[in-house]
Structure 1
């Protein structure tokens, strides 16, 4: 069909050329229409954008990039699934990620050699995104790379993408590089507010953006640049209280210079695109409010001056626009103003006299009139105003009618009819606009007419389908129906508008799958759906690019069904990884003096194990399988238990209650009070309010209890006492003849502890001038838990507030653990919860000189392990072993529940044998530290091998 049309067109041109030649030879005058005079308009903004072929933009470009996004998300969830199910070890997961990244990047170079212009940059960026995520996950989850090393790798990847975007002039590559550049310091943040480095880093890359933008005036990169800078600054602004003014202020000033330089030096002087004006205004707003936030915190009296300066800058920009314009305001501006006033009066009157559907109908009819006027008038402003008005009318239709209850049947009710009528009116405007309107207006009216009808279907499904799952399925069916209704005839009859409509609806359907449906699937189904959808979208995009002029219904429709059906694949079963004993340096046999039986076992850990192992690398192994366990502090009972008499110091009764003041007996050393027992000659029931203390003037501990004695020897007459309070005052209601028979005392339970001393010379101690504080970093590579800290400073008299931060392995950042009040009167501090990793102490010096740490002592609790022995674990001749000494081991996650009721059950006591060096220990290429160096080498080698061919191909990619 295309070749026949081309031949007809060539024949017509040849006939016209022959006619012109004959007229010239005969001297026949050729009528020429006078050129229309240039139109003058008060509004010089361009309201129509030069948009490339929609079919290539959507089918060949957007679908492909959406597919790559799906592949990236699928890769992330695949790594999570591998972690959850322990398919492969940590090093292999990272290796697979790096291999996948280099594969996608290399495949993109192959497609670029096939003269494809859209898919290769997105595929190359996807490969680098997978490399980026692999390196980041290595640091966040496994810690094979250090913080500095990881940041260096991420920065190198971002710089390479930026370099290739410069040599190729490709905006997609720059977008990937810019996102990587900004995300690197944000994702690597440890919560320490390193804002000086952060803003210096951003400033360098912002200047790099300016240099690239001088050569390439891209459309979307500036918006991404504005977005990442604004989100970065306002995301950091919550840390203003612990920062200084100059660094962020200089960053904002340089950023404003970049915006101004781009506006006046890079953007052509005759460019009056609305998008450029909007971008410049938003950039000034961002910088202005950023400077306002700084001055509001540091120098609030200068806020007015800041806004005055920004206003002068904006006036200067407006003056520049007016200087470049004709400076004339034609009579058309008056008519435009009159039209606006008339429409305003009409809309106000409609708002007063009509409501609901009639009001929406009135707005639709006004839109019809405005659009017809705009399509038949030469003034671009009316056309633009018609589009803006229809946006308002559609929003009013949606918000006033979508949620409204109505009578009738599905698709046969007044609500759907008003949506259908609006869609028909918009389609009528579209047909009329084909004569004179701009391409943007025509596309807007066409797609708006389709969208309004689909919204009407959605509204009916919302109120006629109660089950939310079937309702969601109904939304999908509507989109599939309309997509096929436009796609199939569009390809069969080679109708470009129908194919465009089908493409747009397909994008909506895919977006729904990504943004809602996929998140409600199981993890494995989600991964399969993302990979299959992503692959289908990428193949469809390649199909569009390679066979753009050969698209037929038979060749395209299978691709449509391919990527719409990928998410229906079912789930599969998974298996777990076994224990790798060759990764542990030591093991000890777990011994028992009695035969092992089913139940709980308790195993004390000695100090040698606690010093050689970390908090996460202990494993109990029997028959090659791990036995779940929990760790807890070892508690020892000291002192004596027994009972004694009570001395009554005071006794009085009123009509409402009896009052007693008691003195408890002296306790044996290390013992504590337990219970006081009350009796009466008769059966009784009483409520007691009592308080206790170390003296009669210091009764500070309050409590209450109920006691009784019923028939059949039902008795509860003991009340709990404070461990060390010798004096007790009781108010018993009702009054009576009460006796205090005895008091019991018991052993005190104290945690067993040991100490380690740290030399301050081995610590990293810094002073922060912004907050006038001293920060002491204390490493804890073995992750030994400690519950108390003892400080010794050189100063003899001081009082400071301090905050303890603990390093969180999962989030790779410091979190607040506890606040302290450091004074010369106390040197030992007990923590609310033990610290199990590296930590830092921030001491607020206020106006004082920094303290000088002389000695630091950590007090560790001795620990024991509680584990459960199942019937399957009881095998004669097979002993249990405790493996330890692997600092790369991950945190064990066991389904093990040990409650207070379990603690009351008698437990078997175990002990440890002698320490034995594991003869099976060996360094594996799939385990750290060897695997981390292999990953580094593969990463370096892959980059080196990829750089030269990539540079050659991207330098020719124009």
Structure 2
């Protein structure tokens, strides 16, 4: 075979290999966790994985890399939600209907018990139909404050027989449909509001360090518990103060993660919540500036970390072995995946989602920074830069020395 044909063939195989597999340089990550998958895993099925405190303690968030047999798996990350499994079914009352040029229906839903919201409204018809419906919600039939348009149909046994009400407390529903739909509304559904999940840790409040215009509270956070929110409780009920929160980023340096005015009123509850600009996993301090006011008495501090979960597609073989999560590289660039390569938000809400569990954390035995990746690559680039500067200086010095020698000879 001639060489001119061999080169394009080798290039083709190189491009193909790169397009079909993306191995991870696992030696760049200090920690890893194996995954355990439960249930019957279907090929390319959706898997949900809850992150734990080890991840927040040792990862740098953007450095999370999920792998199957060493190859990167795209994933989607979001705040974990607790979805209520107890759904109640109730019967709406039809207050009004008109079937002329436009079909109009007004429904009243039963009163809501404490803590529940309406989630769905079922729709049926004796005939096949398709219609665009304008849905309006309100607290009374005189004023509807929310509105949206939905499309419903019934083609034989195929039907879209539910309208999503979106966890509303509005009890009155007005529907405007195209003529000939002849709709019925046999039931409505209500459930507890979906809520985000958190883990909390209470920190011991030591005596403050008093200064001229502020007091400083130190918290060692010896367990290195990760958090993004602080909840503060004071003996005083109504107050307004400038507050600064700083976290330690190394043995000597501190980084400010909140700096602003905090106002608290008795009617707002016991705690004042302070959102931080980044996740803290180290020693931290709270500075409260009293100015000319009396010093506030801090009685309780709770750190809060929203739990997060990862969704990804299982491998094409449906195998439950070979999955791992790598992290612990402060120089790793944030993950960026094609949105079609991981499950959509709709797919994450189905009953087909399987659960994954993170096993015990272990230090990666292959950990050692590569010369092709930061920080080694950065050090090498800096070294080559200074070598280049020294080489130019040496060349310039040689030229100047040569010219000086020529001038000396000419003068002599």
Shorter-chain TM-score range: 0.5 to 0.7
Unaligned runs of 5+ in 1: 1-571, 762-781, 805-813
Quick check: 1:644–1:665 contact (8 Å CA) kept in 2? Answer: no
Pair 1:585-2:30 in alignment: yes
Where does residue 278 of structure 1 map in the other structure?
Answer: none
Cα distance, 1:676–1:621 mapped onto 2, change above 3 Å:
closer
In 2: Cα distance, 1:724 partner to 1:941 partner: 67
Structure 1 residue matching 2:27: 3-state secondary structure: helix
Structure 1 residue matching 2:309: 3-state secondary structure: strand
Structure with the bigger percentage of helix? 1
In 2: Cα distance, 1:701 partner to 1:929 partner: 56
Where does residue 322 of structure 2 map in the other structure?
Answer: 879
Larger Rg over CA atoms:
1
Structure with the bigger percentage of strand? 2
Quick check: 1:760–1:853 contact (8 Å CA) kept in 2? Answer: no
Where does residue 723 of structure 1 map in the other structure?
Answer: 167
Q: CA deviation at 1:922?
A: 3.4
In 2: Cα distance, 1:680 partner to 1:577 partner: 51
Pair 1:635-2:91 in alignment: no
Q: How does 1:673-692 map to 2 (within 5 A)?
A: 673-676=118-121, 690-692=136-138
> Among residues 609, 621, 625, which one is paired with 2:71 in the alignment?
625
Q: CA deviation at 1:614?
A: 2.3
In 2: Cα distance, 1:920 partner to 1:900 partner: 35
Where does residue 249 of structure 2 map in the other structure?
Answer: none
Quick check: 1:615–1:785 contact (8 Å CA) kept in 2? Answer: no
Structure 1 residue matching 2:55: 3-state secondary structure: helix
Structure 1 residue matching 2:89: 3-state secondary structure: strand
Where does residue 611 of structure 1 map in the other structure?
Answer: 57
Cα distance, 1:791–1:625 mapped onto 2, change above 3 Å:
same
Q: Which has the higher contact order (CA 8 A, sep 6+)?
A: 2
Q: How does 1:15-54 map to 2 (within 5 A)?
A: none
In 1: Cα distance, 2:390 partner to 2:153 partner: 87
In 2: Cα distance, 1:619 partner to 1:726 partner: 43
In 1: Cα distance, 2:152 partner to 2:388 partner: 81
Quick check: 1:683–1:710 contact (8 Å CA) kept in 2? Answer: yes
Q: CA deviation at 1:613?
A: 1.8
Q: CA deviation at 1:615?
A: 0.9
Deviations 1:175-229 (A, max 9, x none): xxxxxxxxxxxxxxxxxxxxxxxxxxxxxxxxxxxxxxxxxxxxxxxxxxxxxxx
> Among residues 183, 187, 191, which one is paired with 1:746 in the alignment?
191
Where does residue 914 of structure 1 map in the other structure?
Answer: 360
Q: CA deviation at 1:856?
A: 6.3
Structure 1 residue matching 2:61: 3-state secondary structure: coil
Cα distance, 1:785–1:851 mapped onto 2, change above 3 Å:
same
In 1: Cα distance, 2:369 partner to 2:128 partner: 75
Q: CA deviation at 1:641?
A: 0.9
Q: How does 1:641-680 map to 2 (within 5 A)?
A: 641-646=87-92, 662=108, 664-667=110-113, 671-676=116-121
Q: CA deviation at 1:799?
A: 5.2
Where does residue 264 of structure 2 map in the other structure?
Answer: 823
The number of residue pairs the alignment matches comes to 352
In 2: Cα distance, 1:708 partner to 1:582 partner: 53
Q: CA deviation at 1:719?
A: 5.4
Quick check: 2:36–2:320 contact (8 Å CA) kept in 1? Answer: no
In 1: Cα distance, 2:371 partner to 2:133 partner: 71
* Alignment root-mean-square deviation, CA: 6.5
Q: CA deviation at 1:619?
A: 1.6
Q: CA deviation at 1:858?
A: 4.8
Where does residue 868 of structure 1 map in the other structure?
Answer: 313
Structure 1 residue matching 2:194: 3-state secondary structure: strand
Quick check: 2:91–2:109 contact (8 Å CA) kept in 1? Answer: no
In 1: Cα distance, 2:314 partner to 2:151 partner: 41
Unaligned runs of 5+ in 2: 1-13, 207-223, 246-254, 281-286, 405-412
Deviations 1:224-268 (A, max 9, x none): xxxxxxxxxxxxxxxxxxxxxxxxxxxxxxxxxxxxxxxxxxxxx
Q: CA deviation at 1:892?
A: 2.3
Quick check: 2:119–2:168 contact (8 Å CA) kept in 1? Answer: no
Cα distance, 1:859–1:677 mapped onto 2, change above 3 Å:
same
Stretch of structure 1 that moved more, 581-590 or 676-685: 676-685
In 1: Cα distance, 2:157 partner to 2:45 partner: 36
Cα distance, 1:638–1:940 mapped onto 2, change above 3 Å:
same
Quick check: 2:84–2:191 contact (8 Å CA) kept in 1? Answer: no
Deviations 1:487-542 (A, max 9, x none): xxxxxxxxxxxxxxxxxxxxxxxxxxxxxxxxxxxxxxxxxxxxxxxxxxxxxxxx
